[in-house]
């Protein structure tokens, strides 16, 4: 029986995760309510995929949905619950 592995499911070398847009695997993604966000950037630290970045203004954060797998770690760690998980 042949097994089919989606792109990004195998790490063939370090740093290759950016080559595969793994966000399409998920049915939900993180959304940040910038009005509730206190700019602590804990979500950036805790995101296991590194798909949350601090924007150029050095305050707001932005989730890259191309790589967000919907694990909700950021939402759980947000001290003010400014991050919610939205169903696609």
Note the pTM of the prediction, 2 decimals: 0.74
Give residue 26's pLDDT. 78
- What's the CA gap between 38 and 17, in Å, rounded? 30
Q: In tens digits, what is the pLDDT along the chain, a chain of 88 residues?
A: 455 655 556 666 655 666 777 767 778 999 999 999 999 999 999 998 889 999 998 889 999 988 888 899 999 999 999 999 999 7
Name all domains of the chain by residue range, CATH numbers in brackets: 21-87 (3.30.70.20)
Give residue 1's pLDDT. 45
Give residue 61's pLDDT. 94
Helix H, strand E, coil C: the string for the chain is CCCCCCCCCCCCCCCHHHHCCHHHHCCEEEEECCCCCCCCCHHHHHCCCCCEEECCCCCCEEECCCCCCCCCHHHHHCCCCCEEEEEC
């Amino acid at each position: 029986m042949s097994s089919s592995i989606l792109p990004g499911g195998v790490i063939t070398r370090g740093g290759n995760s950016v080559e595969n847009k793994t966000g399409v695997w998920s049915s939900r993604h993180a959304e940040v309510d910038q009005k509730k966000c206190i700019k602590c950037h804990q979500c950036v630290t805790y995101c296991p995929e590194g798909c949350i970045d601090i924007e150029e203004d050095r305050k707001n954060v932005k989730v890259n949905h191309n790589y967000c797998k919907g694990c909700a770690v950021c939402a759980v760690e947000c001290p003010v619950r400014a991050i919610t998980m939205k169903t696609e």
